[in-house]
Amino acid sequence: MMRKSIMYTLLTLAAIVMFFPIFYAISVSFMSTSDIAERRVLPSAVTLENYRNVMTSVPILHYLRNSFVVASITTLGMLVVSALAAFIFAFVPFRGRQAVFLLFISTLLIPWEATMIPNFFTIQSLGWMNNYLAMTVPFFALAFGTFLLRQHFKTVPLELYEAAQVEGLSKFQFFYKVVVPYAKTSFVTLGIYGFLTTWNMYLWPLLVTTNDSVRTVQIGLRRLQADEVATNWGLVMAGAVLVILPTLLLLAVGQKQLQKGLTKGAIK
């Protein structure tokens, strides 16, 4: 009993420490300039002035729409490419399959920064600058996603695959009629992971875009801070709250599926 009480106390303290920056950002977004100068933790009077100023300072809604489009397309492409690759590695036998799979997975060890410059020149030569293609296509092939789905696909009984062949189902029919519904949890997990990763991306969209037409909200948030001569933290925090709100909602809705899918991928 004592041990459990200590554990819950430590967990509560850890939760408070981890959540406090988010709580303080939300609190500052509702403060007046004088409250921020006095370094209050809670606003003396709640005001929406910072949110109104965000809407007029930068095209934040336009940035949010771009982020949603980019994150959705990337997530969809990532799911399709990863699922097809995982199915081949799990069900289609060919010589050297295991070696190819290990080589593919070993790309996880290559940091993204090492491939950034070659990818940039490729995008530039294709004429995809200032285009959604530049911000989505390079992220369709994801080694982690292929690994996660393959681990789940491997749990499908081989007898079921053989029975499907006897019934006359093609490999692709077996894929979308049996395998995809069976691995629904892993698809949801990978989808949430891909959406959140793409939503929070900053450096790559900054490299491949030069105007606001397709730029994402992370760049807009940085611009919000840069445009202020004496940084108005209430304004910046209001923008930050608007940016993290969709991701917090997505995490709240898909937390159980995300945890369940990652656990399955780690165990099986």
Same domain, 41 and 83: no
What DSSP string describes 159-215?
A: HHHHHHHHTT--HHHHIIIIIHHHTHHHHHHHHHHHHHHHHT--HHHHHH--STTS-
* Structural domains in the chain (count): 2
HEC profile of 91-158 = HCCCCCHHHHHHHHHHHHHCCHHHHHHHHHHHHHHHCCCCCHHHHHHHHCCCHHHHHHHHHHHCCCCH
Same domain, 9 and 141: no
Same domain, 121 and 177: yes
Q: Is the residue at 89 inside a domain?
A: yes
Q: Is the residue at 51 inside a domain?
A: no
Q: At residue 266, does pLDDT exceed 70?
A: no
Query: Tokens standing for 32?
Result: 């007046």
Q: Is the residue at 65 inside a domain?
A: yes
Q: Are 79 and 187 in contact (CB under 8 A)?
A: yes
Same domain, 121 and 219: yes
Same domain, 14 and 88: no
Average pLDDT over all residues of the chain: 86
Parent domain of 221: 60-265
Same domain, 42 and 75: no
Contacts of 40 (CB under 8 A, 6+ apart): 31
Same domain, 232 and 101: yes
* pLDDT of the residue at 84: 93
Whole-model pTM: value is 0.83
What mean pLDDT do residues 153-182 have?
85
Query: Tokens standing for 265?
Result: 């991928």
Report how far residue 35's alpha carbon sits from residue 206's, in angstroms, rounded to the nearest whole number.
Answer: 34
Q: What is the pLDDT of residues 41-67, one digit of tens each?
A: 888 888 888 898 888 888 888 999 999
Same domain, 213 and 98: yes
